[in-house]
A and B are shown apart, each in its own frame.
Chain A
Amino acid sequence: MPDNPARAATGGPAPARLGPATSPQTVAIELTINGRPRRLAVAPWTTLLDLLREELDLTGTKKGCDHGQCGSCTVLLDGQRINACLVLAVMKDGSAVTTVEGLSGPDGALHPMQEAFIEHDAFQCGYCTPGQICSAVALVEEGRARAPDEIRELMSGNICRCGAYPNIVAAIQQVLASNGGAGR
């Protein structure tokens, strides 16, 4: 059962925030999101995930647990895969964020990892998929995974409740093979 939200109360003064655009408590930051520089006014408690989903309508990045336990919100932050729900947006001033919406080319051409996911049927309901794909793209860049066992281990932060794991591993193997096993 959820704890009584009363327990989550900070005890501090109630924040007088109505929205990022009007609140005196927002902080100005700059983020490059999917290649586009954005000047944003964010509340200090807003996670990168809520910023993307609630403020910028970039809903490709999913909220599955909000606790860094499921990986659905995986995005690339300065090229590293991170859980966007565990990052406060204000702490990443000046960073570059790539979400699933930013992986395909401007002409709509899919990223090889996106192609491989479709080809290998590496998803069913699709909800964890953006996080899986972002995680997989970073995994290839990291250059650490070779064998299926390594892929499985290094992809285990991304839960797929539909159980598409064998197909996800196959998709990643295909991209790794076409890259000669190294980062892009």
Chain B
Amino acid sequence: MPPIPNAETHVGSPRSRVDGRAKVTGGARYSAEFTAPDLAHGYVVNSTVAKGRITGIDTAAALAAPGVLAVFTHENRPRTAWFSYKYQDEVAPPGTPFRPLYDDKVVYSGQPVALVVAESFDAARHGASLVRVSYQAEAHETDLTSRMGEAYEPPKKRSGISPPPKPRGDAPGAYADSPVKVSGGYWAAYEHHNPMEPHATTVVWEGGGKLLVHDKNQGVLNAQSYVSSVFGLGKDDVRVVTPFVGGGFGSGLRPQYQLFLAVMAALELRRSVRVVLTRDQMFTHVYRPNTFQTVKLGANPDGTLRSIQHHSVTGTSQFEDYQEVVVNWTGTLYHCDNVELTQKLAKLDTYTPGDMRAPGAPTGLFAAESAMDELAYATGVDPIELRLKNYTEHDENEGKQFSSKELRACYEVGAERFGWSERNPEPRSMREGRELIGWGMASGAWEAQMMKTSARAVLTADGKLEVACATADIGTGTYTILTQIGADAFGLRMEDVTTRLGDTTLPYSPVEGGSWTAASAGTAVQLACEAVREKLFKHAQKASGSPLAGAKLDAVSFAGGRIEVTADPDRFVTIADAMRAGGVDRLEAEETANPSKIDQLRYTGYTHSAIFVEVRVDEELGVVRVTRVVDAVAAGKILNPKTARSQVVGGIVWGIGMALEEETLPDHNLGRFMNHNLAEYHVPVAADVQGIEVIFVDEHDTKVSPIGVKGLGEIGIVGTAAAIANAIYHATGKRIRDMPITIDKVLG
């Protein structure tokens, strides 16, 4: 840029969500809530074996049931793309994507094998209950432990995911020579995203081959490309509109199978179709993979690291090599000359795992930061001092500078607020009644990324602004921050600005994820607004006797519906007069924000955090409660402290779930998940969450993104599970390396 100076009235200030009223009144419509005349309803039938062939599907009873219109199976599936690459979406890992109803092969338990479409939801559900599927089952394997010996380094790397760096120095040798050693093996359980809104697609048949698709996703353009590619439709014939997303957490990054099924049925029946997954069907697609890690740290007696070895094996499907960054964090966070990091995969007869909130980071840091805590005990060095002793000012994995790194301040401010100096490091040293009290801490890091994104700004003579971008607001507050940026660009009230998102007719955005949306869409909106400001200013100068004649753009301010000379606000032109002078009644600009290639070559960007946790552990019952959390976060510029805090609090709640509750339990005999519902898959509820304090540490960064924003969607979760595990050790003297840390493990 640089940005044109204008007073920041809204940016940086706490503002309530602009979509708040719609959400508290029930006015916000989600994908299953759009309707159409003559809407038909689809209900999915899922496989009951993990591997094998479908030997027969008896649909006669279903077809005879009242209201049933059609039953789609692999036997009568309408023609779709032949090549598997046609099913590849924007964020697909290497491999051949799953193709619903493609053939008689079953590749995972719960795979959709039929879709019953009927006049009503009830009739479709009833019809689905009448479909009889027979299988020739084959031997399957869903247990990661039995595939560890066949783990492999993925031959093809997933785009956008940094593979582990080449080894530095001689990590095994330095470990052998280290006077202090810690090592351990760590497990992280399967987790399912479970957004509150189940995946759903409503396809509105508009006639003339045109489809209006309301689909739960985190990227309407990705969904549109997928539909267009799979069904051979022109992009102009497929419009995807998803204004509200009832939680994503990564589950909406890739198109899920209900999108395929709903579009297929709509095209074949030539009418509108809705397909909604049930909660148990939400356990038949994407999930966080099961991961095993080993960490070995070698150090001097003063805690200085001499060797880091961090290895992981993650489960993936038979058909795709899903990859996330698990081990790199250890090499990024600490200075060490001898580092060996590897990530391997093992193939299982499951669906492909996928990105789930901060994919890889909380898993990897659970292991790394637990090991650092062990090292603190082994050396007698305070955990914060240990981290400061091994602090690094540049990214040794990448050999680049950090665009900014205020982690030191996070440790300091967080420790101060938490009262860390009062801690007696001795395990089991704090007790109240039958409860043992423990204090633990951990560091967090997440990549601060910016992606190419476009936005449009339209200013009308009545002083109203509309900003638009195809990106999604999945609860992150995107509507609100873009409104703030737009309002400040013209000195408007937020009520005068409308933000439109989640529509394929709007300017380009990649999927919403990775914490990159605020930096990317925010910059694009800022650029579009600046382009409109320049146009408006030129018109204002053209007005006869313009008080702005001869003024420079950087010497004026936009405020209260007018452009005024900053040094002499009595000299001004109103927006309406400027437009009149230009003979227009609206001004529009579309701009594209790109990350700086030069800065990317020289710098890496990370958000950092230091998280402090107090747990209380009932010694007899083994119940762990997280009673206090302080999280100090350095995330560059904070656009809206109110929604920003909510993002981080939400991430911390996810960390509590990961550490203590969340686990999808496979039955390896059947090759399926057993606890496919919200009564048995435990997520945190209100009673599990007590005091959480979030502190944003000042961090100025002009390299990470032009607006100085780093992103907040992931950082709340990353260090939380490790800090809880460390607090449990402090409380009980038990080092538990197997998440979630459930009662049986605490008592065991």
Contacts and interface: CB of A to CB of B under 8 A. Distances in A.
B20 A118 contact: yes
Interface string A14-25: 111111000000
B30 interface: yes
Contacts of A53: 33
Indicate the member of A6, A69, A72, A152 with the most B CB atoms within 10 Å.
A6
Interface of B: 16-17, 19-30, 32-33, 35, 43, 45-48, 64-67, 109-110, 119-123, 125-126, 128-133, 194-198, 244-249, 276, 278-281, 283-284, 474-477, 642-643, 645-647, 649-654, 672-673, 676-679, 683-687, 689-692
A152 to B, nearest CB: 4
Contacts of A140: none
11 contacts: A3-B280, A5-B129, A17-B66, A18-B119, A19-B120, A67-B679, A69-B279, A121-B643, A129-B24, A156-B686, A161-B249
A5 B47 CA distance: 10
A58 interface: yes
B689 A166 contact: yes
A2 B475 contact: no
A149 to B, nearest CB: 8
Contacts of A59: 26, 29-30, 33
A107 interface: no
Contacts of A118: 16-17, 20-21, 24
A19 B26 CA distance: 25
B649 A125 contact: no
Most buried by A among B26, B110, B244, B248: B26
B247 A159 contact: no
Contact of A127 (B65, B247, B692): B247
A67 B689 contact: no
A2 B110 contact: yes
Contacts of B66: 14-18
B113 to A, nearest CB: 10
Interface residue SS majority, chain A: loop
B558 to A, nearest CB: 28
B196 A121 contact: no
Contacts, number: 231
A155 B686 contact: yes
3 closest A-B pairs by beta carbon, nearest first, are: A60-B26, A163-B653, A127-B246
Contacts of B30: 59, 62, 127
A64 interface: yes
Contact of B126 (A2, A14, A153, A166): A14
A147 to B, nearest CB: 12
Contact of B195 (A119, A125, A133): A125
A46 to B, nearest CB: 7
A43 interface: yes
A66 B48 contact: no
Given A2-B278, A3-B280, A156-B685, 7 more contacts: A17-B120, A19-B119, A70-B196, A101-B25, A110-B25, A162-B247, A166-B691
B190 to A, nearest CB: 13
Contacts of A15: 66, 126
Contacts of B129: 5-9
Contacts of B67: 17-19
Contact of B121 (A54, A58, A153, A156): A54
A167 B645 CA distance: 10
A64 B43 CA distance: 16
Given A119-B16, A124-B475, A165 B280 contact: no
Nearest to A114: B24
Contacts of A168: 686
B197 A125 contact: yes
B646 A124 contact: yes
A161 B119 CA distance: 32
A15 B691 CA distance: 52
Given A46-B122, A163-B653, A2 B281 contact: yes
Which of B30, B64, B283, B686 counts the most chain A CB atoms within 10 A?
B686
A46 B122 CA distance: 8
Contacts of A50: 121-122
A121 to B, nearest CB: 5
A61 B196 contact: no
